[in-house]
C-alpha cells in the first residue's frame, strides 16, 4: 500500500487514478469520485468495529449500482433501512457519521 506525505498528495494521486479509470471505462469522473466516497462510508458502516452492522440494510439506487455495475443509472445518495432500531444503533450511526465527516474536512 502506498503511503503519502500529506492529504494533498493523497488527493492528487486519487484524482489522477479516477481520471485514468474514467477514461479507460468511459465513466464520468464525478461518478467515480462519488463511488469512492460512498464505498468508504459503507466500509465504516459494515466494519467489524460496528457491532450493529447486521442491523443496516442497503437499498435503493446505490444497491442496484452495486449489483448491476455501470449499466445502472447513477445515484446521488445512499438509502438504508434499519432492521431493529435501538439507542445503540442510533449512537453508532452518529459516531460513524461524525468520524466520516471529520475525516473529509480539512
How confident is the model over 22-35, as pLDDT tens digits? 999 999 999 999 99
Q: Is residue 71 part of a domain?
A: yes
pLDDT digits (tens, 9 = 90+) for 75-92: 889 898 887 777 777 777
Residue 74 lies in a domain: yes
Mean pLDDT of 33-46: 87
Q: Evaluate whether residue 1 is within a structural domain.
A: no
For the record, the C-alpha cell of 22 comes out as 474514467
Residue 64, domain member (yes or no): yes
Domain of residue 60: give its range: 7-104
Residue 2 lies in a domain: no
Number of compact structural domains in the chain: 1
Give 62: exposed, middle or buried? Use CB within 10 Å, 0-12, 13-18, 19+: buried
Asked if residue 13 is part of any domain, the answer here is: yes
In a domain, 23, yes or no: yes
Amino acid at each position: 500500500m502506498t503511503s503519502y506525505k500529506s492529504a494533498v498528495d493523497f488527493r492528487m494521486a486519487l484524482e489522477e487514478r479516477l481520471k485514468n479509470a474514467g477514461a479507460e471505462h468511459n465513466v464520468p469522473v464525478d461518478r467515480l469520485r462519488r463511488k469512492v466516497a460512498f464505498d468508504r462510508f459503507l466500509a465504516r458502516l459494515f466494519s467489524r468495529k460496528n457491532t450493529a452492522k447486521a442491523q443496516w440494510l442497503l437499498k435503493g439506487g446505490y444497491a442496484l449500482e452495486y449489483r448491476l455495475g455501470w449499466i445502472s443509472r447513477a445515484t446521488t445518495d445512499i438509502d438504508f433501512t434499519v432492521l431493529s432500531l435501538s439507542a445503540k444503533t442510533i449512537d453508532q450511526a452518529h459516531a460513524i457519521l461524525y468520524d466520516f465527516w471529520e475525516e473529509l474536512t480539512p
